[in-house]
Chain A
Amino acid sequence: MDVKNEVLYRVYFLLFGLVIPVAVLLVYRSITIGIVEGEEWRNRALLENVIKERTIEAERGNILAEDGSLLATSVPIFDLYFDPYAPSDEDFLANVDSLAVSMARYVDNSYTVGGYRKYLMELRDTAINRSRHVLIKRKVSYNEKRFIQQFPLFNLGQFRGGFIPEKRSERVRPFGLLARRTIGWVLDGATPIGLESSFDEELGGEPGKVMMINVDRRRDLWKPMDDLTAVEPQIGDDVVTTLNINIQDIAEEALLRGMQKHDAQWGTAIVMEVKTGAIRAIANIGRNNGSWLEDYNYGIGKSTEPGSTFKLASMMAMLEDGFVKLTDSVDIENGQTQFYDVTMDDSSPISYRLDSISAYDAFIMSSNVGMAKLVNKHYGEKTSANNKLGAEAFINRMKQFNLHLPTGIEIEGEGKPLIKEAYSTEDYWSGITLPWMAIGYETRLTPLQMLSFYNAVANNGRLMKPYLVQEIRRFGEPVEHFRPTVAKKKIAEPETISTVRKLLEGVIEEDRGTGHDLRTDRYRFAGKTGTAQVDYERGSRGTRVGGHQASFAGYFPAEDPQYSCIVVINKPRQGGIYGGDVAGPVFREIADQCFYSLMELHRPMNAGPKPVYTTATLPSGDIGRATDFHRILDQLDIQFYGDPATELGVLSAKSDSLMLYRRTILDDQVPNVVGLGLRDALYVLENRKLKVEFNGVGKVVKQSILPGTALRGQTIWLALE
């Protein structure tokens, strides 16, 4: 065998005898494992190699006020955990001392540094602790988490340092309890309510999905699988409401004061924009074990017998049918009459002295007997005048005013209105139904439904659908805009509307009007009081009454209505029961504040002839920023002297002009802030590193630390009045 052939022979042996057979063997083994035994291995993999699908919660959208203020938003919060067995001995021992210092100083004051060190050492002692998921602190903000993450050991990261931040998101309402029920919530274990619930789909966004893999079973460590099946979560849309923060605030404050003053059961106040039907405020307060809180959306959900505010509908029906003129007279029989065997009384004692009054007076004085007799006279019998329809003609008018339909407000749980069908046994129609309907009984409406009706009157007969949401935004860009919706173009003839508007103004303007006490010189408003009996039993000797529901519905300014408003206060227990006394003042307070804040509603203060100032009409002793005083006094064109170099100034009235004196505040002492407004007081005190707590509204009348005390970053408490 020659050399060449021997080499070739051996090479070919290698190739065909070794390399190719081994290659075939390897492929064969692959097939054995992958195909023949494949099923078994795949099943085992599914069983042992745990993969789970995790939904990634989408960030929930915000709920905004009309001006963009945040009413509800989601903020990330973290629960911090520590895996004491993650760090190596070397890392742990090198950092345990400084970590203990940081933890004891910044995170858990209940430990001394030594105590925390001992605690950390114990966490790593398997005899004492085996958990790899030890809670450090719950509900930590993003910034705080970042701060704690910088601590020694923790700054080595999750794997080397054992620091485990777990993110979740929490719903917060920056304005606290403001419009709580209307904004609502979507929580585990609670019935979802309000806008959060109604717009849950928009706010919720699209949750993402990702497959998680158990990387380290001992540590329960999961990591997302970066494959093509992952779905990114889609952030929720923002919901822009029609609510106005200021009006809402005013409505809640005013309602609460009214409720407290009269110790009532529940109350609601709603403010609606006349032209659009946009709800600018909706306040709800219920009494609950001695505290007052927004426990139910009474304004939208609670339908009750409305009482005298309903007389507007009765009067409008008769006017539409041409049955009455305001000058027609009606015998009110000294405020008491009988319908069948049931007695009806006027609630106002003035009626006891009167027998015949005009229809106009029957309305503004809110005479039950007067209104009931008028309605009964025209609709009680089937006459040729009412086309032989009798009460049905009256009911048809109620339907013309849309009073039988819910408003269709966006949030769930709107109470259903009840307007009985004429002569319907199903609706328990009886002989006394019609007269009592005329004065607001035998009928149920929610405060919002009643307000919509008044709003239509203010809006010259055009019925607007009330709405709470004006826009849906995605990434700040509007994706859906809700325009004002006309529910009915014309609920009544223009003559009828202008007549009842005169009546509603009369309620306030006339001395006899039930709302006369609410009158103000600054602007004109119109409305109707209501004092309904609740939990009553009617009989021939009168009515046994379980309580009252005071209400006031109206609009302002009377000549060019901008806002309509209804206030309902249920079961006042002290300080009166009448709508004019209980609900009226709350309405006035809301109307006043709206009126002041509506620039377009009043003339500039420095227009017109300059008033004559006296010491009595000028402010004296007020303290504030000197430059602010300059601006205000210049604007109002009030003469003043003095230009103090200090930041603060004190006003002092001198006959028809003002003096502005200096007010020095030292940098190293607690200053005297009595007489300052809250804003100025906060500015002065917090600049000196004091922590401020306060109570009340107005100007500072008391401070807890004496002026001149050395500054040490104390907490100072202020009382304002």
Chain B
Amino acid sequence: MSNIAARIYAELKGDKAIWSVMVLLGIFSILAVYSATGSLAYQQDGNTEFYLFKHSGLLAVGFLLAYLGHLIHYMKYNRWAPVLLALSIPLLMITIFYGAEINDARRWIKIPYTSLTFQTSDLAKLALILYVARSLTSKQDYIKDFNSAFLPIIMPVLIICCLIAPSDLSTAIMLFLTCVFMMFVGRVSLQYIGLLLFLGVVSFALLYALGGFYPDLIRSTTWVNRFREFMDGPDQIYQVIQAKMAIANGEWFGMGPGNSIQRNFLPMSSSDFIYAIIVEEYGIIGGAFLIFLYVFLFFRVTRMVTKSPKAFGAMVAMGLSILLVTQAFLNIAVAVNLVPVTGLTLPMISQGGTSIIFTCIAFGIILSVSKYIDASTG
């Protein structure tokens, strides 16, 4: 056994700490998803193992992609960034008009000739972050300039976010914030960042107004409802109540693996509210450890940035880790009722095909960067 472990260890390049975070998240994921799907699986033929195998298989594919991804030199991603971005825009438009509707939202497109669905915003997120990182690093010398630096960076950001927002506002906001943070790290002037935030609000207002004319395309009524529910008092929302009960059941040390009661009552317990289930089974201690894993990931990436602050790699790693942490924190914030219900998944943990695959690819890219930064700086 130790031989195999040693072989795997030798095979893995890059920051072993980040690899460890990934593996730990994966283990959390399998345990939590298996437990949370108990109720769902029972309703469909009672085959509880089905979701476990499906999810584990997906994780295995994800880890393979991460492994392959970290072998590739990160500068290759630099070159693919514009292509991917150019590809995302039409895909997002197709999704808006012809996408498959799952759980009342049109965020997926069917991959032709298969029964698989694919969440286009996941690809767009990756493409946009690569593109922003590339632009920020290439324009570093004149980054404080408005026309030559700021405008070319923010245009794609606004376009992509406006394309995602109609069906998936939370992802759009999260992605927008990620880009803002990246620009902040990439030394963009604070007044421009303030301007960008303002532009974001204006775009949202425009979309909201458009939603009145095209209710089928833009879920503006849902946004209002969610927000109103939240303001009216979160204790009226069934999911939130159930999530709180789950957290309360967990107390400090949890009810033990597989003993969740609330998974039977909590809708979407395997994706949106999986944090509540994790706390129920593993306690607040377990939940805090999970949060720590994301913070630790961000800390390791910060170290890379300190080693080579101007490199594209560092900026990409920074962007991706901001994305992952933002998404994770937003998801958890929903579960502990700090923000309205969003529908964001917990990266690496929640069930959901494309989400896991793209998260793993993101890890692969971060690891690729860590490999070369480690090598170049010793």
**A-B complex is real:** yes
Inter-chain CA distance A588–B295, complex, in Å, is 97
Quick check: A10 and B187 within 8 Å, CB to CB?
yes
Question: In the complex, which residues of chain A have a beta carbon less than 8 angstroms from the beta carbon of B284?
Answer: 27, 30-31, 34-35
Quick check: B264 and A41 within 8 Å, CB to CB?
no
Quick check: A44 and B332 within 8 Å, CB to CB?
no
For A3, A30, A31, the residue with the greatest tally of chain B CB atoms inside 10 Å of its CB is A30
Quick check: B245 and A49 within 8 Å, CB to CB?
yes
Question: In the complex, which residues of chain A have a beta carbon less than 8 angstroms from the beta carbon of B252?
Answer: 34-35
A350 at the interface (CB under 8 A from B): no
Quick check: A4 and B244 within 8 Å, CB to CB?
no
Inter-chain CA distance A19–B294, complex, in Å, is 9
Inter-chain CA distance A20–B295, complex, in Å, is 7
Question: In the complex, which residues of chain B have a beta carbon less than 8 angstroms from the beta carbon of A20?
Answer: 295
Question: In the complex, which residues of chain A have a beta carbon less than 8 angstroms from the beta carbon of B336?
Answer: 26, 29-30, 33
* Interface residues in B286-314 (C-beta closer than 8 Å to A): 287-288, 291-292, 294-295, 298-299, 302, 305-306, 309-310
Quick check: B337 and A29 within 8 Å, CB to CB?
yes
Quick check: B332 and A26 within 8 Å, CB to CB?
yes
Quick check: A42 and B245 within 8 Å, CB to CB?
yes
Inter-chain CA distance A147–B333, complex, in Å, is 52
B217 at the interface (CB under 8 A from A): no
A668 at the interface (CB under 8 A from B): no
A716 at the interface (CB under 8 A from B): no
Quick check: A33 and B247 within 8 Å, CB to CB?
yes
Inter-chain CA distance A44–B332, complex, in Å, is 22
Interface string of A247-279 (1 = CB under 8 A from B): 000000000000000000000000000000000
Which of A101-109, A224-232, A321-329, A530-538 lies at the interface with chain B? A224-232
A213 at the interface (CB under 8 A from B): yes
B345 at the interface (CB under 8 A from A): no
Q: Do most interface residues of chain B lie in helix, strand or loop, or is the interface mixed?
A: helix
Question: In the complex, which residues of chain A have a beta carbon less than 8 angstroms from the beta carbon of B262?
Answer: 45, 49
Interface string of A13-39 (1 = CB under 8 A from B): 011001110110111011101110111
**By the criterion of a CB under 8 Å from any partner CB, how many residues of chain A are at the interface?**
42
Partner of A8, one of B39, B140, B259, B306: B306
Quick check: B43 and A3 within 8 Å, CB to CB?
no
Which residue of chain B lies nearest to A46 when distances are taken between CB atoms in the complex?
Answer: B245
Quick check: A23 and B249 within 8 Å, CB to CB?
no
Q: Given A10-B185, A225-B261, do A34 and B251 touch, yes or no (CB 8 Å)?
A: yes
Inter-chain CA distance A30–B186, complex, in Å, is 33
Quick check: B43 and A30 within 8 Å, CB to CB?
no
Interface string of B275-289 (1 = CB under 8 A from A): 000010000100110
Q: Do most interface residues of chain A lie in helix, strand or loop, or is the interface mixed?
A: helix
Quick check: A7 and B249 within 8 Å, CB to CB?
no
Inter-chain CA distance A49–B260, complex, in Å, is 13
Which residue of chain A lies nearest to B305 when distances are taken between CB atoms in the complex?
Answer: A11
Quick check: A41 and B248 within 8 Å, CB to CB?
yes
B255 to chain A, nearest CB (A): 9
Quick check: A42 and B185 within 8 Å, CB to CB?
no
Q: Given A26-B291, A29-B338, A34-B284, do A11 and B318 touch, yes or no (CB 8 Å)?
A: yes
A6 at the interface (CB under 8 A from B): yes
Question: In the complex, which residues of chain A have a beta carbon less than 8 angstroms from the beta carbon of B43?
Answer: 159, 215, 223
Quick check: A41 and B247 within 8 Å, CB to CB?
yes
Quick check: A26 and B247 within 8 Å, CB to CB?
no
Interface string of B233-275 (1 = CB under 8 A from A): 0000000011011011111100000110110110000000000
Question: In the complex, which residues of chain A have a beta carbon less than 8 angstroms from the beta carbon of B292?
Answer: 23
How many residue pairs, one in A and one in B, have C-beta atoms under 8 Å apart? 133
Question: In the complex, which residues of chain A have a beta carbon less than 8 angstroms from the beta carbon of B204?
Answer: none
Quick check: A14 and B261 within 8 Å, CB to CB?
no
Partner of A14, one of B181, B249, B288: B181
B203 at the interface (CB under 8 A from A): no
Partner of B185, one of A11, A29, A228: A11
Partner of A23, one of B241, B279, B291: B291
Q: Given A10-B187, A25-B338, A227-B258, do A30 and B247 touch, yes or no (CB 8 Å)?
A: yes
Interface string of B76-115 (1 = CB under 8 A from A): 0000000000000000000000000000000000000000
Quick check: A225 and B264 within 8 Å, CB to CB?
yes
B38 at the interface (CB under 8 A from A): yes
Quick check: A8 and B305 within 8 Å, CB to CB?
yes
Quick check: A19 and B258 within 8 Å, CB to CB?
no
Quick check: A15 and B249 within 8 Å, CB to CB?
no
B42 to chain A, nearest CB (A): 5
Quick check: B39 and A215 within 8 Å, CB to CB?
yes
A451 to chain B, nearest CB (A): 56
Inter-chain CA distance A545–B7, complex, in Å, is 105
Quick check: B287 and A15 within 8 Å, CB to CB?
no
Question: In the complex, which residues of chain A have a beta carbon less than 8 angstroms from the beta carbon of B279?
Answer: 30, 34
A142 at the interface (CB under 8 A from B): no
Interface string of B4-44 (1 = CB under 8 A from A): 00000000000000000000000000000000001100110
Interface string of B46-64 (1 = CB under 8 A from A): 0010000000000000000
Quick check: B287 and A27 within 8 Å, CB to CB?
yes
B146 to chain A, nearest CB (A): 18
Which residue of chain A lies nearest to B310 when distances are taken between CB atoms in the complex?
Answer: A3
Quick check: A26 and B187 within 8 Å, CB to CB?
no
A720 at the interface (CB under 8 A from B): no
Question: In the complex, which residues of chain B have a beta carbon less than 8 angstroms from the beta carbon of A12?
Answer: 302
A33 to chain B, nearest CB (A): 5
Quick check: A45 and B329 within 8 Å, CB to CB?
no
Quick check: A45 and B291 within 8 Å, CB to CB?
no
Quick check: B299 and A14 within 8 Å, CB to CB?
no
B64 to chain A, nearest CB (A): 29
A51 at the interface (CB under 8 A from B): yes
Question: In the complex, which residues of chain B have a beta carbon less than 8 angstroms from the beta carbon of A18?
Answer: 181
Quick check: A3 and B318 within 8 Å, CB to CB?
no
Question: In the complex, which residues of chain B have a beta carbon less than 8 angstroms from the beta carbon of A223?
Answer: 39, 42-43, 264
B214 at the interface (CB under 8 A from A): no
* Interface residues in B205-254 (C-beta closer than 8 Å to A): 241-242, 244-245, 247-252
Quick check: A38 and B248 within 8 Å, CB to CB?
yes
B325 at the interface (CB under 8 A from A): yes
B198 at the interface (CB under 8 A from A): no
Question: In the complex, which residues of chain B have a beta carbon less than 8 angstroms from the beta carbon of A38?
Answer: 248, 251
* Interface residues in A142-197 (C-beta closer than 8 Å to B): 159
Which residue of chain A lies nearest to B321 when distances are taken between CB atoms in the complex?
Answer: A19
Question: In the complex, which residues of chain B have a beta carbon less than 8 angstroms from the beta carbon of A4?
Answer: 309-310
Quick check: B264 and A213 within 8 Å, CB to CB?
yes
B184 at the interface (CB under 8 A from A): yes
Inter-chain CA distance A213–B264, complex, in Å, is 7
Q: Given A8-B309, A12-B302, do A35 and B295 touch, yes or no (CB 8 Å)?
A: no
A41 to chain B, nearest CB (A): 3
Inter-chain CA distance A452–B365, complex, in Å, is 93
Which residue of chain B lies nearest to A157 when distances are taken between CB atoms in the complex?
Answer: B45
Inter-chain CA distance A6–B136, complex, in Å, is 14
Partner of A44, one of B245, B259, B264, B295: B245
Interface string of B319-352 (1 = CB under 8 A from A): 0001001000100110011100000000000000
Partner of B288, one of A3, A30, A33, A215: A30
Question: In the complex, which residues of chain A have a beta carbon less than 8 angstroms from the beta carbon of B258?
Answer: 226-228
Quick check: A34 and B38 within 8 Å, CB to CB?
no
Question: In the complex, which residues of chain B have a beta carbon less than 8 angstroms from the beta carbon of A225?
Answer: 261, 264
B129 to chain A, nearest CB (A): 15
Inter-chain CA distance A25–B291, complex, in Å, is 11
Question: In the complex, which residues of chain B have a beta carbon less than 8 angstroms from the beta carbon of A22?
Answer: 329
Question: In the complex, which residues of chain B have a beta carbon less than 8 angstroms from the beta carbon of A45?
Answer: 245, 248-249, 261-262
| A positions within 8 Å CB-CB of B | 3-4, 6-8, 10-12, 14-15, 18-20, 22-23, 25-27, 29-31, 33-35, 37-42, 44-45, 49, 51, 159, 213, 215, 223, 225-228
Q: Which 4 A-B pairs have the closest CB atoms?
A: A41-B248, A29-B336, A45-B245, A7-B309
- A-B contacts, 18 listed (Cβ < 8 Å): A3-B310, A4-B310, A14-B322, A26-B333, A26-B336, A26-B338, A30-B284, A33-B244, A33-B247, A35-B252, A37-B244, A40-B248, A41-B244, A45-B245, A49-B264, A49-B265, A226-B42, A227-B258
Can you name 6 extra interface pairs (CB under 8 A) apart from A29-B333, A40-B248, A223-B264? A11-B305, A26-B332, A33-B336, A37-B244, A44-B241, A49-B242
